[in-house]
Structure 1
Amino acid sequence: MSYTGRVTVGGPADAHELGQLIISKAAVGPMENNAYLLRCRRTGEQLLVDAAAEPGTLLSLIGEDGIAGVVTTHRHGDHWQALDAVVRATGARTYAGRYDAEGIPVPTDVPVEDGDEILVGTCRLTARHLVGHTPGSIALVYDDPEGHPHLFTGDCLFPGGVGNTRGDREAFTRLLHDVETKLFAPLPDETWVYPGHGADTTLGAERPHLPEWRERGW
């Protein structure tokens, strides 16, 4: 079956199988967060994006091969509830945006800056620092050498808009600016978007709506 990205809490993961990387998406409760397990086909090394909740579910997804690292996309608690348990069980290295690390209770081994690369086996992810939802949110770009880019956005970009800025117009303006200049501008329409909650999308599906997002202010 082809990948849809439609997952539910308590249901099975869905795997997006690329030429060099396998991306498995799972939903965990209670806030229906998405967690993504990335596996390098060449080396078998694995990386988890957001140990959000339900450590048992995530450790089952990871399996006996373990993980080399866990990336936390931002400091909000629903994205790291299982982090301590997963790290204790696997010994994984932790990554988070430099300006959000202090808000995550599990120590960050590698503070991440804009443009930094994170490896999973021979596959390279490039971090993009996005300000507005939190001070140090990061998105991750995997530029598939055999296809189009794949983008993990945490809570900074969803189908239908950018992340919640809690009515702060300045924060919204900054977040929209960063999303436009660091994601929409350099990446093509075919870029597949994996958000922190809910369904996937593409930059092409969202790009025509940027003016209306700016106008409505959220």
Structure 2
Amino acid sequence: MAAEAVLRRVVVGVLDTNCWVLHARGDRRALVVDPGDEAGRVLAAVADLDVVAVLLTHAHFDHVLAVPDVTGTLGVPVLAHPAEAPVWPHEVEAARRAGHWDAGTATADLLARDPAPLAFSASAARWDGAYTPVADGEALVVGPLEVTALHTPGHTPGGLTLSVDGHLLTGDTLFPGGPGLTGPPLSNFPTIIGSVRRLLTWPGPTRIHPGHGPDTTVAAERPHLETWTARGW
């Protein structure tokens, strides 16, 4: 009998990022996806598991702030797509200049309400950007699970989606209602539409677990692809 994938969601940080913990039912070996903040809560969520690696769907600040604490505590590597290499340095430099992290279209509202959660600290521990490269189509072994990494660029150049046991962990590539934001630097709308088109070839019941907000399914989103393409966002 094939292993059953189990997903735990830990919602963290100023942008309510979904940090996912993936393991097989009955097996302790696990993968942490996008530890975006609140390392203590992420570590508590895996206290009964043996984490083998941290994987980044992409390197925007709200998906990586807890990386140094999580990987330092657990002694595990960071996995990412090689095309993502310029994103984190760009994030840090832009935040250093502005004095705050860039939260896209939510930035102005968040700063107006309370600037503290977005404030950039030059002295805070930050991920050093080092990672083990993961290629498109590469099989990642998490206990008895075989997890397929898919290169799904557009929101960022090295965006990754994970496919396992009827689930897609899409990061900020695909949400209920459309593709992720392509306004920031290093993003591209036609590219993300190509990535979304690829993901929507999965069977209809496949569950989509995005980087923020609720889950959806391929069947629920597929009919809207051409509408998204025409509207341009």
Fold equivalence (TM over 0.5)? yes
Bigger proportion of residues as strand: 1
Q: SS of the residue aligned with 1:207?
A: helix
Please give the residue correspondences for 1:23-172 in structure 2 after superposition, counting only pairs within 5 Å. 23-104=7-88, 105-142=127-164, 144=165, 149-166=166-183, 171-172=188-189
Distance 2:184 2:78 in 1: 31
- Indicate how the Cα distance of structure 1 residues 217 and 46 shifts in structure 2: closer, same or farther if over 3 A, else same: same
In structure 1, list runs of 5 or more residues that go unmatched. 1-17
Task: Count residues in correspondence.
Answer: 193
Q: Bigger relative contact order, structure 1 or 2, given CA contacts below 8 A and separation 6+?
A: 2
Calculate the aligned-residue CA RMSD, in Å: 1.9
Write out per-residue CA displacement over residues 125-151 of structure 1, whole angstroms, 9 at most, x where no aligned residue.
111111211110000000x2xxxx100
| Equivalent pair of 1:47/1:67 in contact (CA under 8 Å) | yes
| Structure 2 counterpart SS, 1:23 | strand
Aligned-pair identity in percent equals 37
Letter aligned with residue 96 of structure 1 = A
Q: Secondary structure at the match of 2:11?
A: strand
2:216 maps to 201
Residues 102 and 90 (structure 1 numbering): CA distance in 2 closer, same or farther, change over 3 Å? farther
Q: Which has the higher helix share?
A: 2
Question: In 1, are the aligned partners of 2:54 and 2:76 still within 8 Å (CA)?
Answer: yes
Q: Show structure 1 runs of 4+ deviating over 6 A.
A: none
